[in-house]
Amino acid sequence: MNRGAQRPMTTTEWGLLLLLSLLWGGSFFFVGIAVKALPPFTIVAARVTIAAALLWLAAPLTGVSALRLGRQAPALLALALLNNVAPFSLLTWSQTQLASGLVSILNATTPVFTVVIAHLFTVEEKLDQRRLAGALIGVVGVAAMIGPELLGGFAGHLVAELAALLAATSYAAASVFARRFRRLGLAPIELATGQVTASALVLLPLALAVDMPWRLPAPGPAAIAAIGAIGALSTALAYVVFFRILAGAGAVNVVLVTLLAPATAILLGAAALGERLAARDFFGLATIALGLAVIDGRLPREARARFAAAFDR
């Protein structure tokens, strides 16, 4: 996360942030539809292939250079494995077992894992007392959700919950690894195009080998529409919106989407898929949100400022 100056977001940036929360929160909803008809690797391969095709179609307008991407192919492949292949596959598989809203809540732990991984593998982003406290609060939120199943052994859907947490860890590792690209001269849109292209090159043969999709029953219109939406909206368009916010408001502001996306996923899952979450899941979400607020630092600073102002009157 960026430790530099934080400025208030403009009305346009707040609107884009809400749009991004709908796009990424909606991805859990779309996957929830698709997994009823298709296996995980097929869904994920289609997702990144559609996104890559759309981003390459837009390349003449966005200035994406195949030559520049080719020079950084090994690094882009590593990023694709961490940021797309592993987490997309794990989250999609977990949604064969869990409600989309619950998976989105577990995925909201990504910033908690990020501060820990950054502490271990970077020099400039060590854990301080505030970040450590926020990370511990986030862990409490996770424990509230999966603790009862953990204490009971590997029963219920514990493995799927752990898969979702492993996906969040992979996203966190990707965010730390991606910092090296600042020195490589790739524009954000090139980085997005390169990683989904590398992901497609990995996942297409994997889906063909594992799922053998030609043997599967033809998916219905709902599943086809969901696949198209997750590729075009929740991946290609979401990357464009993400990097637009990142360029203007910075990484600390854009991470707020992590708090908003679960609300979208929960509401869509309840309204369209009939999903219901337990009270402990909502408690876990609230606790994780508190932990992220502490890590971010703005709410504690605002509270201290208001407290001090009250005594200065």
Q: pLDDT for 280-307, tens place per residue?
A: 778 888 888 787 777 777 666 666 666 6
Residue 203 in domain: yes
What's the pLDDT tens digit per position in 24-48? Answer: 889 999 999 999 999 999 999 999 9
Residue 31 confidence (pLDDT) = 94
Q: Which of 57, 3, 47 is nearest to 27 (CA)?
A: 47
pLDDT confidence of residue 1: 40
d(C-alpha 254, C-alpha 291), whole Å: 16
Structurally, the chain folds into a number of domains equal to 1
* Lowest pLDDT segment from 15-19, 149-153, 166-170, 255-259: 149-153
Is the per-residue pLDDT at 107 higher than 50?
A: yes
Give a yes or no: residue 1 inside a domain. no
Q: Buried (b) or exposed (e) across 202-239, using 16+ Cβ within 10 A? A: bbbebbeeebeeeeeeebeeebbebbebbbbbbbbbbb
Residue 69 maps to a domain:
yes
Comparison of pLDDT for 179 and 253, the residue scoring more? 179
pTM of the model: 0.83
Report the C-alpha gap between 224 and 187 in whole angstroms.
Answer: 32
Structure tokens at 111: 């910033």
Domain annotation covers residue 4: no
pLDDT digits (tens, 9 = 90+) for 82-96: 999 999 999 999 999
Task: Tell me what the mean pLDDT of segment 249-262 comes to.
Answer: 66
Distance of CA 222 to the CA centre of its chain: 24
How confident is the model at residue 268, as a pLDDT? Answer: 81
* The predicted structure's pLDDT at residue 25: 87
Q: Is residue 3 part of a domain?
A: no
Task: Provide the greatest CA pair distance for the chain.
Answer: 74
Judge whether residue 257 has pLDDT over 90: no
Each residue's pLDDT tens digit, 207-241: 999 999 889 999 999 999 999 999 999 999 987 88
Residue-level pLDDT at 299: 63
For residue 208, tell me if it sits in a domain. Answer: yes
- Residue 80 pLDDT class (50, 70, 90 cuts): very high
What is the residue range of 68's domain?
11-312
Backbone angles phi, psi at 42, to 5 degrees: -65, -40
List pLDDT tens digits, range 112-166. Answer: 888 888 888 877 777 777 778 887 887 787 777 776 655 554 455 888 989 999 9
Judge whether 5 lies within some domain: no
Q: Is residue 6 part of a domain?
A: no
